[in-house]
Amino acid sequence: MAGNKHVLNPKIVKSVNYPTMGADPEFFFMREDGVAMNADYFLPHRDKKKQVDGSAVELFFDGFQGELNFSAGTCREGVLRRIRSGLGAAYRTAQTKSKADGVKYRVALESMVPVEADILAAAHEEAREFGCDPDFDAYSGGANPPGPDAEDHLFRYSGGHIHMGATSFNAGEVKYMFQDKAIMKFVQLMDILVGIPLVILDRDDGSGARREVYGRAGCYRKQKYGVEYRVPSNFWLKSPELAGFALGLCRFAFAVAHQKLEKYFFNIVDQDAVRYAIDMNDFDVARELWSIMKPNVVAAASAGRVDVLNNSYIRRFTDGITELTTDFPGYTLFEFLAHKGINNFFGNWNTEWSITGSKPQSSGWFTGMTQKIWDKGLLGEFLEIYPAAKEPDHVAF
């Protein structure tokens, strides 16, 4: 891999207007015996979408899976509220069917599930197809090849595609980013700044299996408002903290591209290694790439409104008796989460999103992560790795 010959000076990083952010994540309905169910049994066709939260959130079946659409926005907090509304509606749909059938169903945020042939045969005909519109490869410029025969392939996969676009405030400035070859370079940058950190966190074997079918590095669709980044699985739906982090990484990539700072990342990493790490969901290669680009990530995040990774977040902890006020840079929280593993940090998605239970709704990445560190009694462990995590030239996981 290439050495770090181009060090980014944070003084040249400026504040930028945020892009719009949306997503169309997918999920599965599962029977109590672990059998994946066809989503058309629970949800209507996309032509008759189920709307919740006014018309801001829509649910429907997309092939075998369920899909959640919601209106885009520039504020992560607003987007997270709409995701919660959609997941809550999916949860209640499963509960309603459970009562009607006398069988327990649940919503599963898995990236891959096996499918039984008789269930597939009874499903809507679209469940026996893999997509209808082609997606594209940002490295070759061509359309990605079609997947396997969906009638014979007894696995299904859920994506966590993220959409980004221009706003009325920055449309004139960033229009070029979403046109022709520029959009391909932007997606390649997203592979570095979004895809690699997400590989580090998403250690589910199903995510690697999914990319054998679709969602490989550089996978995207051009949309009238901008771009649909189709690489991530749906794992980031498992908590508000993960969702806030994934969306924040996309906003970070937008800020870097908007200021034409891509060279500070393209010139220091081996893009073949980036593609390999994503396609194989290879944690070790992704970690090495993170170690190379971390100094420039820290420099870029230290200025402007790039808040998911910045180094100016102050958090006061209190349990009613003791108080601790400290500076927790966002990238140190990411490294601590990578160190612990998301399965050791987050529980059932419906609890994390406050769909069930008494847990108050989390506010997202910073507030949620720092509060979890406190609530789980992990502050001492975090402070042990903090000195290494804060250093741009060290990696703490």
> Tell me: the pLDDT tens digits for 119-157?
999 999 988 888 668 899 999 999 998 888 888 999 999
Q: What is the DSSP string of 108-160?
A: E--SEEE--HHHHHHS-GGGGS--SS--EETTT-SBPPP-S-TTT--EEE-B-
pLDDT at 333 over 50: yes
pLDDT at 1 over 60: no
Q: Which of 7-11, 54-58, 218-222 has the highest mean pLDDT?
A: 218-222
pLDDT at res. 312: 54
pLDDT at 20 over 60: yes
Closest CA to 5 of 298, 293, 302: 293
pLDDT at res. 7: 74
pLDDT at 375 over 80: yes
Alpha carbon of residue 148 to chain centroid: 25
pLDDT at res. 307: 62
Closest CA to 346 of 269, 251, 242: 242
Q: Is 387 helix (H, G, I), strand (E, B) or coil?
A: helix
Q: Is 216 helix (H, G, I), strand (E, B) or coil?
A: coil
- Listed by start position, the domains of the chain span 10-283
**50 vs 227, higher pLDDT:** 227
Reported confidence tier of residue 380, pLDDT bands at 50, 70, 90: confident
Which has the minimum average pLDDT: 6-10, 199-203, 330-334, 360-364?
A: 360-364
pLDDT at 55 over 80: no
Give CA separation, 273 vs 35, 79, 286, in Å.
37, 32, 8
Q: Which long-range contacts (CB under 8 A, 24 or more apart) does 138-146 make?
A: 138/183, 138/184, 138/185, 138/187, 138/188, 138/191, 138/218, 138/219, 138/220, 139/184, 139/188, 139/217, 139/218, 139/271, 139/275, 140/218, 141/181, 141/184, 144/214, 144/216, 144/219
pLDDT at res. 190: 97
Cβ(337)–Cβ(215) under 8 Å?
Answer: no
Mean pLDDT of 165-189: 79
Cβ(376)–Cβ(278) under 8 Å?
Answer: no
Mean pLDDT of 222-242: 95
pLDDT at 8 over 70: yes
Q: For residues 116 and 229, what is the distance between their CA atoms, to the nearest angstrom? A: 30
For the CA atoms of 335, 342, 363, 228, the dihedral, rounded to the nearest 10 degrees, stands at 90
Reported confidence tier of residue 276, pLDDT bands at 50, 70, 90: very high
- Name the one residue in this structure whose structure tokens are 């390649």: 188
pLDDT at res. 125: 92
Which two tokens mark 151?
């009638």
Q: For residue 308, count other CB atoms closer than 10 A to its CB.
A: 24
pLDDT at 243 over 90: yes
pLDDT at res. 2: 46
**CA-based diameter of the chain, in Å?**
63
- Name the one residue in this structure whose structure tokens are 């908590």: 239
Mean pLDDT of 11-22: 76
pLDDT at res. 30: 98
Which has the minimum average pLDDT: 82-86, 288-292, 293-297, 357-361?
A: 357-361
The 10s digit of each residue's pLDDT in 318-331 is 555 555 555 678 89
Mean pLDDT of 182-211: 95
Cβ(16)–Cβ(253) under 8 Å?
Answer: no
pLDDT at 14 over 70: no
Mean pLDDT of 41-59: 88
Up-side HSE of residue 92: CA atoms within 13 Å toward CB?
A: 10
Reported confidence tier of residue 172, pLDDT bands at 50, 70, 90: low
Average pLDDT of the residues of the chain: 88
pLDDT at 171 over 90: no
pLDDT at 4 over 60: no
Distance linking the first and last C-alpha atoms of the chain: 20
Mean pLDDT of 81-108: 96
Going across the sheet that includes 162-165, the strands are 20-23, 162-165, 226-229, 219-223, 136-137
